[in-house]
Amino acid sequence: MAYSPERKAAVLTKMLPPNNRPLRQLSQEEGISRGTLAKWREEARAKGQFLPDAKTGPEGWTSTDKLAAVIETAAMNETELGEYCRRRGL
């Protein structure tokens, strides 16, 4: 099934901070397969929009990944930052 660029952008926005919705939850809410959502996320990562999965750890991050983390967390308060770090395994 083809999705409009607007719908894809709206769903990708839900994956970004401050929402950070898991693929499983988004799949159920949006009626889009997790495989499709994962593909969209990987495409966005290739464009520098997302950080790698928490499983990879910061040791494997590129300079672009590290900068993205700084930008994502810049406006977070201490509680949000702590939650972000736990979710990412930092």
Residues 6 or more apart whose CB falls under 8 angstroms from that of 57 comprise: 89
Across the range 55-75, mean pLDDT stands at: 76
Cα dihedral across residues 90, 84, 19, 23: positive or negative: positive
C-alpha 65, offset from chain centre: 12
- Whether the pTM exceeds 0.85: the reply is no
Question: According to the model, what pLDDT value does residue 22 have?
Answer: 85
The pLDDT tens digits of the residues spanning 16-49 come to 766 778 889 999 999 999 999 999 988 887 777 7
